[in-house]
């Protein structure tokens, strides 16, 4: 016992000796960045591979750096453990090497606000998120209610059609990786509202996987929903969406997809894909940063009218859907782009 206690006390003394010079060095963390240059940290809350929005984010910043002198970019993948995101971001910001942190995730503003309290000179630009009033943070929110509205409208047209896998139940489905305010308040309600514009009797079967990677669970949910009468699915599930594609191919169901071109994930069954002009937005915002025009503390919502959300009406779309559905949907999309479709954007 005595030996151990002696060892413990000795260890604490050694720890204290090591700690004192280390603590003294702590104040050198925040070196200001050189003027007329821009050092960008692209902070990926997940991984780039398999995520088109993150790929566009990273590519947008990298291309901007290639096109502009004195701009450097580091792309950092923080992985899927949300509990580690804030600490990793703090570690990166603590280096003092980055003029701005660029990210794209609805959860980032609250994490950046926490990190910003420790490093008041750090600036953050976040897309696909919304926060107003924090002088360190500038956000751009894609109008996902609007995108869900027109994808829901398309799902409504398909579920009420005579297409091969469409049934008589007025039921569409939405599989999400997790629940979060943007999903609950914009995406799912927008999807249902769009479908109800086709037929007010349509209902949505909403299920949650619990993570962004479990394709097996997504497949189980999709299978169960299909058995319950769902014939058109939407999904915000990251890599787990592979489970939905598998079930759609095996059992026959249609899919509308947000943000990215996934027509080839289930050929003939993915009947519509929304688009999100992440790269375009990133490059424009970075140009504003270089020009010193970014208004931190403000938030902007961008949608189809502004050209940041759209619909991929390519060959697959033409082949997968009959003419009458396409005609109705194209007219609806034109109205959306022209701002002629009336809806109330719910508060987040």
What is the binding site for other proteins (CB under 8 A)?
1, 3-5, 7-8, 11-12, 18-19, 22-23, 25-26, 28-29, 76, 79, 81-83, 87-88, 90-92, 94-95, 105-107, 110, 118-119, 129, 178-182, 184, 208, 210-211
Give 23 or 323: the residue with its C-beta nearer to other proteins.
23
- Closest separation in Å from C-beta 16 to other proteins: 12
Using an 8 Å Cβ cutoff, are 32 and 121 in contact? Answer: yes
- Concatenate the DSSP letters of all residues of 233-254 into one string: EEEE-GGGHHHHHHHIIIII-E
- Give me the count of residues in the chain: 348
Phi then psi for 72, rounded to 5 degrees?
-120, 150
* Distance of closest approach, residue 29 Cβ to other proteins, in angstroms: 6
DSSP bridge partners of 342: none
Q: Is the CB of 5 or the CB of 291 nearer to other proteins? A: 5
Nearer to other proteins by Cβ, of 142 and 254: the residue is 142
Nearest to 155 by CA among 292, 273, 36: 273
DSSP reduced 3-state for 297: coil
Cβ of residue 94: shortest distance to other proteins, in angstroms?
5
When the beta carbons of 88 and 160 are compared against other proteins, the nearer one is: 88
| Complex with other proteins: residue 87 or 324, whichever CB lies closer | 87
Q: Which of 271, 264, 210 is nearest to 242 (CA)?
A: 264
Give the integer Cα–Cα distance in Å for 93 and 316.
44
- Name the nearest CA neighbour of 329 among 143, 161, 166, 145: 161
Nearer to other proteins, 16 or 69 (CB): 16
Minimum gap (Å) between residue 145 Cβ and other proteins: 16
**Closer CB to other proteins, 145 or 150, in the complex:** 145
Which of 186, 52, 50, 62 lies closest to 129 in space, CA to CA? 186
Rounded to a whole number of angstroms, the minimum distance from the CB of residue 57 to other proteins is 17
Q: Token digits for 194? A: 């769009």
Q: Give least dist CB 18 to other proteins, A.
A: 7
Least Å from the CB of residue 3 to other proteins: 6
Bridge partner list, 254: 232
DSSP string, 20-38: HHHHHGGGG--PPPPTT-E
* Distance in Å, CB of 88 to other proteins, minimum: 7
CB of 221 to other proteins, least distance (A): 13
Structure tokens given for 199? 């037929």
Question: Which lies closer to other proteins via its Cβ, residue 221 or residue 266?
Answer: 221
210 backbone φψ class: left, alpha, beta (φ>0; ψ -120 to 50): left
* CA 221/CA 217 separation, integer angstroms: 6
Nearer to other proteins, 68 or 178 (CB): 178
Measured CA to CA, the distance from residue 273 to residue 245 in angstroms comes to 14
119 phi, psi to nearest 5 deg: -130, 80
Contacts of 77 (CB under 8 A, 6+ apart): 44, 46, 47, 48
């Amino acid at each position: 016992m005595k030996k151990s206690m002696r060892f413990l006390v000795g260890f604490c003394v050694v720890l204290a000796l090591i700690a004192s010079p280390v603590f003294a060095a702590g104040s050198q963390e925040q070196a200001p960045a050189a003027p007329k240059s821009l050092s960008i940290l692209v902070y990926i809350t997940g991984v780039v591979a398999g995520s088109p929005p993150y790929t566009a984010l990273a590519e947008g910043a990298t291309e901007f750096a290639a096109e502009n002198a004195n701009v450097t970019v580091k792309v950092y993948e923080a992985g899927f453990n949300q509990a580690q995101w804030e600490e990793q971001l703090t570690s990166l910001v603590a280096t003092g090497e980055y003029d701005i942190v660029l990210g794209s995730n609805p959860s980032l503003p609250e994490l950046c606000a926490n990190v910003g309290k420790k490093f008041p000179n750090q600036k953050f630009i976040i897309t696909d998120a919304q926060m107003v009033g924090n002088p360190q943070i500038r956000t751009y929110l894609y109008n996902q209610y609007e995108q869900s509205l027109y994808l829901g409208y398309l799902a409504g047209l398909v579920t009420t059609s005579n297409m091969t896998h469409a049934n008589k139940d007025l039921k569409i489905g939405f599989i999400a990786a997790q629940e979060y305010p943007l999903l609950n308040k914009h995406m799912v309600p927008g999807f249902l509202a769009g479908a109800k514009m086709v037929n007010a009797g349509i209902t949505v079967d909403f299920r949650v996987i619990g993570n962004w990677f479990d394709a097996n669970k997504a497949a189980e949910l999709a299978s169960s929903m299909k058995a319950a009468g769902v014939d058109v699915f939407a999904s915000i599930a990251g890599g787990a969406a592979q489970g939905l594609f598998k079930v759609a191919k095996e059992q026959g169901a249609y899919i509308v997809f947000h943000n990215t071109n996934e027509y080839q994930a289930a050929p003939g069954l993915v009947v519509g894909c929304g688009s999100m002009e992440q790269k375009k937005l990133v490059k424009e915002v970075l140009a504003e940063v270089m020009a010193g025009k970014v208004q931190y503390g403000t938030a902007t919502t961008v949608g189809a009218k502004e050209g940041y959300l759209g619909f991929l009406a390519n060959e697959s779309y033409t082949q997968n859907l009959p003419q009458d559905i396409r005609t109705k949907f194209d007219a609806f999309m034109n109205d959306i782009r022209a701002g002629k479709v009336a809806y109330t954007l719910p508060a987040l």
